[in-house]
Amino acid sequence: MPDSANDSSFTGSIPQLYDQYLVPLIFEPYAVDLCRRIVALQPASVLELAAGTGVLTRHLAQELPASTRVIATDLNQAMLDEAARIGTVRPVEWRQADAMQLPFADASVDIIACQFGVMFFPDKARAFAEARRVLRPGGALLFNVWDRIENNELVSIVCAALDGLFPDDPPRFMHRGPHGYADKAVIAQDLVRGGFGKPQFETVAATSRAASPRDPAIGYIQGSPLRAEVEAKGRDALERAVEAGAAALAARFGDGPVQGSIRAHVVTATA
């Protein structure tokens, strides 16, 4: 089975490690940004795709009026379970759902949002067509995707360390998954194929921060499907990978707190 077959599998201890390490490191600032954009549109209903452990959901529940319906979905029930365990300030609807075949009626929601999940959809145009079907006329799809890996500092350093540790067969999840859908022309083409008009793009830079070099190494390597690729390389491969990633970050930033630049594209497409 190719490594890419497991790229959307967030199971085992991954949801907890993802939320503990990656959410504050890279996802939080973009959740704040995406939530702000959604609130400004004053929707009566929001459907979130690929909600993960709920970082965007929590902001939506807090910032949107109590009358606004918030439905948070994910393909992975384990991620939703962790999101529900963490909770929100007011009730939201948690529902397991596949973005390729949404279990919602035509023209039934005002906004569809997706925080760093679109890159994992196996057929982007089909998923966009499903979103277009579910959106009410004049509604909008808002999502963000990571820019190229070389424009995201900490993950680039960690992956370079893994390239050196496993030179014959380096793990490539971060390249083909999270950072594999950064071409704006391709995204625009997929949206048009899905029934949308010309989308709007804004590239947003932010800073990721961690208390130590080891934290990002654990987050990227153990808190994502990269873990399965590394574990397949031997019994002690996971710990060796974390040590290599942490050492590379320490060489760049020192043994104390670390911070690095991150960059993502925010996309808005109107139905």
Q: Which tens digit of pLDDT belongs to each residue from 175-199?
A: 999 999 999 999 999 999 999 999 9
Enclosing H/E stretch for 80: helix 77-86
Looking at residue 9, what is its pLDDT? Answer: 56
Of the candidates 19, 124, 120, 10, the residue with the CA atom closest to the CA atom of residue 76: 10
Q: Pairing state of beta strands 109-115 and 135-146?
A: parallel
The hierarchical CATH code for the domain 3-270 is 3.40.50.150
Looking at residue 223, what is its pLDDT? Answer: 95
Residues of the chain with pLDDT under 50: 1-2
Looking at residue 2, what is its pLDDT? Answer: 41
Looking at residue 12, what is its pLDDT? Answer: 74
Half-sphere exposure for 207 (CA within 13 Å, toward CB)? 5
**C-alpha–C-alpha distance, residues 258 and 243, integer Å:** 16
Looking at residue 13, what is its pLDDT? Answer: 77
Looking at residue 1, what is its pLDDT? Answer: 35
| Strands (DSSP E) found in the chain | 45-49, 69-74, 93-96, 109-115, 135-146, 200-210, 258-270
